[in-house]
Amino acid sequence: MPRIDRIAEPWGSRTPYGPGETWPVRVDSYLADGLTEDDVDRWAQSATILHSNGDGLDIAVKDDRIVGVRGRAVDRVNHGRLGPKDLYGWQANNSPDRLTKPLIRRDGELVETDWDTAMDAVAGRCRELLDEQGPSSIAFYTTGQLFLEEYYTLGLIAHGGIGTNHVDGNTRLCTATAAAALKETFACDGQPGSYTDIDHADVIALYGHNMAETQTVLWTRILDRLAGPNPPQVVCVDPRETPVARAATVHLAPRPGTNVMLMNALLHEIIGNGWVDRDYVDAHTVGFDELAKRVEDYPPEVAAEVCDVPVEDIRKAARIIGHARRLLSTVLQGFYQSHQATAAAVQVNNINVVRGMLGRPGCGILQMNGQPTAQNTREAGADGDLPAFRNWSNDSHIKDLARVWNVDPMDIPHYSPPTHAMQMFRYAEEGSIRFLYVTATNPAVSLPELARIRSILAQDRLFLVVQDIFLSETAQLADVVLPAATWGEKTGTFTNVDRTVHLSEKAVDPPGEARPDLDILIDFAHRLDLRDKDGEPLVKWSDPEGAFEGWKECSKGRPCDYSGLSYDKLRGGSGIQWPVTEEHPDGTEHIYVDGQFWAEPSYCESYGRDLVTGAPLDGTEYRALNPSGRAVLKAAGYLPPHELVSEEFPFQLITGRTLYHFHTRTKTARAPQLQAAAPEVWVEMAASDAGDRGWAEGDLLEIRTPRGRVEARLRISGIRPGVAFLPFHYGYWDQPGGDRPDGHGRAANELTLTDWDPCSKQPIFKTAAAAVTRLAAGDGPSAAPTTTGSRPVSADVPPTRGGTAAEAVEVLAQGGAR
Ligand SMILES: Nc1nc2c(c(=O)[nH]1)N[C@H]1C(S)=C(S)[C@@H](COP(=O)(O)OP(=O)(O)OC[C@H]3O[C@@H](n4cnc5c(=O)[nH]c(N)nc54)[C@H](O)[C@@H]3O)O[C@H]1N2
Ligand SMILES: Nc1nc2c(c(=O)[nH]1)N[C@H]1C(S)=C(S)[C@@H](COP(=O)(O)OP(=O)(O)OC[C@H]3O[C@@H](n4cnc5c(=O)[nH]c(N)nc54)[C@H](O)[C@@H]3O)O[C@H]1N2
Ligand SMILES: [Mo]
């Protein structure tokens, strides 16, 4: 069987196809230690977890250990393909340094203990605080990496049992703007697009989205269209020369933080030239006149100046988008992690809406998620929102939720918008939050301004519980550490960006005494003795399928309706797109068909916000604006970034990802092929910036902002001049699981600022002003990958290769390139 080094060739072989054709099948697999499929004892059905794409796969098991993975040919998402992180990342499950016993802090040290002692300490401290200070002293900070069943249970415990409003996920750092932008335009979360739109689109526009590295299989789908007949045109908006930029018909590389200016100029051209579907706008929208008037002030000449992009490129991009017959737009962190995040993302929605490009094949918006299960954090109400897109400011929605949970409506906090993560950390800093229960996230590396975060997490008065699979940087600061089972070791469901629900089956037992997150949460609820209004236990299930059945009831009749799904139905075939109901038993590929939205005032999830101040609108205001539930076209003026460059801090600092690592690397650094591909932090700068200063590839630089400093070796790349890029994957411990802080010198978030978008409250990771100096000349190139956005401009950097250790199998169903 053909073997390919998938470190060297992250996207594998091409299987070209044309518009409207079916994407050919290509089954990718990787088994450890030279095993073949004949050696495998059994396969367990699941999907990928180190990104949001939701590629169906099977987990290979031999001698009760995970030994590899194979893509599922029948799955609608990937047609068998897997990306490098999927092929190699599962090895972290088998890492010898997994947490296997609970830990508790005694005399300043974390020591091993038994589950009873650990859980009594957790529930005991929580109960004490509830009695002394009330529910507002309790907070939960969760993730986009657990299962739907776990979030739903957590939301029930926190909102319905404890009654705190302080529940959020790291999804605040990740997809808060996706949700916010959808709520602004459609008054409800829920992804309008479908991945199959790639099969039909004639124009694909990617805004601040390095899909090639962050959803590799989705990008493979685009590459296969680009290699086929009548390929789509691609528009890329990104200040770096990413693989997306290289494949684009037009690449706009704006100054970081100027997205709204650029979007307004694109809309200026589109509306000004009449590239508008007037019938659609008249029948299905409100707000067009304000939008048209607002963007009059943003001619391309002005944007060209502010964004520093050639005016003819802006016009060209607008013409391509304006003439598209089937337009797919995708948005991610280059838009979401900035000061006008929601305002910018909403302008992307506006383009598709004014062009009438929604609800049919090839016409979609993907306000992308990042994490594998972030969609579920939002749906199930573990990000502060209420379950199943219920509206916290609509009393009848609260009453309905109270019915499902059998609690009193007044017991569900809904007196103000849910507390967002950045505010929760502020409350912990000020001392009003005294108990913080962290599940499956590593805030000591991933939150902005780490010196501050460390000091908050290390406070004596804060009781910190960390539930993880490794002793992360955050876990090392905890009072109690709870060892969790993870993907492959527990069962549950999760939903990807395009609403596809997958079942992930347990393949093997967790190591040592580690337990599924769901079991731990239910144990916590029982120890707190949480009850419903009839005195029965509040949490009525004891296993994942029971939780799923509870969720089906909760979601029935709401937009994200799972009531027609079951575990059995998800077994054997492809993932299925919600809503799944009696009328649509096989799921729903396109929502918002014929301009039908979930925006009707009594049904919608959100009444929207002011894009500048973030203040929520109330029901009366919303009814006046949008009585019949149309799409809302919201305009926004451009505001400059909050932290501007100066003589002292002349570089714009942006941060982000590389193809081979996931976040704080707790998993990918433990997969040898991935770690070797990007072993240490680097900083990207343009050749002109390096040349002006006499710096060379591989020189050791110091990057400094008013918050901290990082040392990194220089990669001279195709990034725009004046901008420096740092990957944020490298935490401050020497090696994952190591116990020696190395002086806090390499985590990008030492440098980032405590500031957020007013509407989505998503932190600004993509614009800060930095000083860069050289500490030492290098003795060779930096270790940054050459296959990605960090591709060197110079030819003498050795290419990134995985060698035989990274050879994966690729089986083409129809003749492809190999
Ligand atoms: N390999 C890999 N894949 C992942 C992840 C991972 O850690 N590694 N994480 C997953 C998660 S949780 C997420 S959220 C996604 C994130 O996926 P992406 O959003 O695609 O990744 P980022 O690298 O954070 O940011 C994307 C791009 O934004 C650009 N950018 C920076 N500032 C600006 C700006 O002001 N304007 C514009 N237009 N662009 C700007 C950067 O140059 C960068 O190329 O990836 C998911 N997939
Ligand atoms: N500067 C900068 N900072 C950023 C970003 C950026 O672009 N730039 N991006 C932001 C974004 S989009 C995101 S999503 C965040 C990600 O930030 P984090 O969520 O902090 O990153 P992870 O490394 O994914 O942390 C997940 C943790 O959960 C653990 N874990 C994995 N599986 C399980 C499980 O099944 N159960 C339990 N209990 N634990 C588990 C892992 O070991 C790990 O410690 O970072 C954000 N921070
Ligand atoms: Mo994310």
Ligand found nearest the CA of 85: 1
**What pLDDT score does 345 carry?**
98
Ligand 3 centroid to Cα of residue 375, in Å, is 11
Q: What is the DSSP letter of 158?
A: I
The share of the chain scoring above pLDDT 70, in percent, equals 98
> What are the structural domains of the chain?
4-97 (no CATH), 103-171+373-595 (3.40.50.740), 176-368+599-632 (3.40.228.10), 651-785 (2.40.40.20)
The answer to whether 371 touches 442, Cβ cutoff 8 Å, is no
Amino acid identity of residue 305, one-letter, is: E
Q: What is the DSSP letter of 751?
A: T
With a 6 A CB cut-off, is 656 part of the ligand 2 pocket?
A: yes
Ligand found nearest the CA of 439: 2
The string of pLDDT tens digits covering residues 169-224 is 999 999 999 999 999 999 999 999 999 999 999 999 999 999 999 999 999 999 99
Ligand 2 centroid to Cα of residue 472, in Å, is 10
For a substitution probing ligand 1, which of 332, 683, 752 has the most ligand atoms within 8 Å of its CB?
332
Does 741 have pLDDT greater than 60? no
Give the neighbor-by-neighbor strand order of the sheet with 492-495.
492-495, 500-504, 576-577
Does 115 have pLDDT greater than 90? yes
With a 6 A CB cut-off, is 55 part of the ligand 1 pocket?
A: no
130-144, 339-353, 645-659, 727-741: lowest mean pLDDT where? Answer: 727-741
Count of H helices and E strands in the chain?
26, 29
For a substitution probing ligand 1, which of 261, 314, 369, 657 has the most ligand atoms within 8 Å of its CB?
657
Closest CA to 579 of 571, 588, 567: 588
The answer to whether 438 touches 445, Cβ cutoff 8 Å, is no
The string of pLDDT tens digits covering residues 575-627 is 999 999 999 999 999 999 999 999 999 999 999 999 999 999 999 999 999 99
What is the DSSP annotation of 38-106?
A: GG--EEEEEE--SSSS--EEEEEEETTEEEEEEE-TT-TTTTT---HHHHHHGGGGG-TT---S-EEEE
Neighbouring CB atoms inside 10 A of 117's CB total 13
Closest CA to 327 of 416, 146, 202, 221: 202
Atom of ligand 1 nearest to the CA of 210: 20
Atom of ligand 2 nearest to the CA of 337: 7
Neighbouring CB atoms inside 10 A of 804's CB total 8
With a 6 A CB cut-off, is 789 part of the ligand 1 pocket?
A: yes
**What pLDDT score does 814 carry?**
60
734 falls in which pLDDT band (50, 70, 90)? Answer: low
Closest CA to 498 of 347, 634, 328: 328
d(CA 598, CA 195): 21
Ligand 2 centroid to Cα of residue 41, in Å, is 32
Ligand 3 centroid to Cα of residue 51, in Å, is 8
Q: Which distant-in-sequence residues (6+ apart) come within 8 Å of 791 by Cβ?
A: 241, 717, 718, 785
With a 6 A CB cut-off, is 717 part of the ligand 1 pocket?
A: no
Measured between alpha carbons, how far apart are the two ends of the chain, in Å? 11
**What pLDDT score does 384 carry?**
84
Ligand 1 centroid to Cα of residue 732, in Å, is 21
- Tell me, rounded to whole angstroms, the distance of Cα 5 from its chain centroid: 27
**What pLDDT score does 416 carry?**
85
With a 6 A CB cut-off, is 402 part of the ligand 1 pocket?
A: no
**What pLDDT score does 735 carry?**
53
The string of pLDDT tens digits covering residues 421-479 is 999 999 999 999 999 999 999 999 999 999 999 999 999 999 999 999 999 999 999 99
Report how far apart, in Å, the C-alpha atoms of 114 and of each of 96, 270, 373, 647 are. Answer: 20, 64, 30, 56
- CA torsion sign for 159, 162, 166, 170 is negative
Nearest-10 crossing angle of helices 341-354, 288-296:
110
The string of pLDDT tens digits covering residues 758-806 is 999 999 999 999 999 999 999 999 999 999 999 999 989 999 999 999 9
With a 6 A CB cut-off, is 10 part of the ligand 1 pocket?
A: no
Tell me the whole-structure pTM to 2 decimals. 0.97
The string of pLDDT tens digits covering residues 666-718 is 999 999 999 999 999 999 999 999 999 999 999 999 999 999 999 999 999 99
The string of pLDDT tens digits covering residues 288-327 is 999 999 999 999 999 999 999 999 999 999 999 999 999 9
With a 6 A CB cut-off, is 213 part of the ligand 1 pocket?
A: yes
**What pLDDT score does 742 carry?**
52
Retrieve residue 145's tokens.
């990496």
| Coil, helix or strand at residue 812 | strand
Amino acid identity of residue 204, one-letter, is: I
d(CA 606, CA 167): 18
d(CA 637, CA 445): 33
**What pLDDT score does 418 carry?**
86
Retrieve residue 162's tokens.
């404890």
Does 83 have pLDDT greater than 90? yes
* Residue whose CA is at the smallest distance from ligand 1 atom 28: 334
Atom of ligand 1 nearest to the CA of 239: 42
With a 6 A CB cut-off, is 662 part of the ligand 1 pocket?
A: yes
Does 816 have pLDDT greater than 70? no
d(CA 419, CA 426): 11
Neighbouring CB atoms inside 10 A of 106's CB total 9
Ligand found nearest the CA of 478: 2
- CA torsion sign for 509, 510, 512, 516 is negative
The answer to whether 731 touches 685, Cβ cutoff 8 Å, is no
Omega before 579 cis (within 30°)? yes
How much is the average pLDDT of 498-524? 98
For a substitution probing ligand 2, which of 373, 442, 477 has the most ligand atoms within 8 Å of its CB?
442
Q: Which residues surround ligand 3, an ion (CB under 5 A)?
A: 174, 370
The string of pLDDT tens digits covering residues 3-43 is 999 999 999 999 999 999 999 999 999 999 899 999 999 99
* Strands 364-367 and 327-331, sheet pairing: parallel
Amino acid identity of residue 95, one-letter, is: S
Ligand 2 centroid to Cα of residue 355, in Å, is 37
**What pLDDT score does 1 carry?**
77
The string of pLDDT tens digits covering residues 627-668 is 999 999 999 999 999 999 999 999 999 999 999 999 999 999
The answer to whether 190 touches 560, Cβ cutoff 8 Å, is yes
φ and ψ at 711, to 5 degrees? -105, 135
Ligand 1 centroid to Cα of residue 655, in Å, is 8
| Coil, helix or strand at residue 14 | coil
Burial track 25-55 (b if 16+ CB lie within 10 A, e otherwise): bbbbbbbbeeeeeeebeebbbbbbbbbbbbb
With a 6 A CB cut-off, is 469 part of the ligand 2 pocket?
A: yes
Q: Which residues pair with 741 in a beta bridge?
A: 733
With a 6 A CB cut-off, is 209 part of the ligand 1 pocket?
A: yes
Retrieve residue 317's tokens.
């991009």
Ligand found nearest the CA of 752: 2
* Residue whose CA is at the smallest distance from ligand 2 atom 46: 446
For a substitution probing ligand 2, which of 48, 93, 100, 469 has the most ligand atoms within 8 Å of its CB?
469
Ligand 2 centroid to Cα of residue 723, in Å, is 25
| Coil, helix or strand at residue 210 | coil
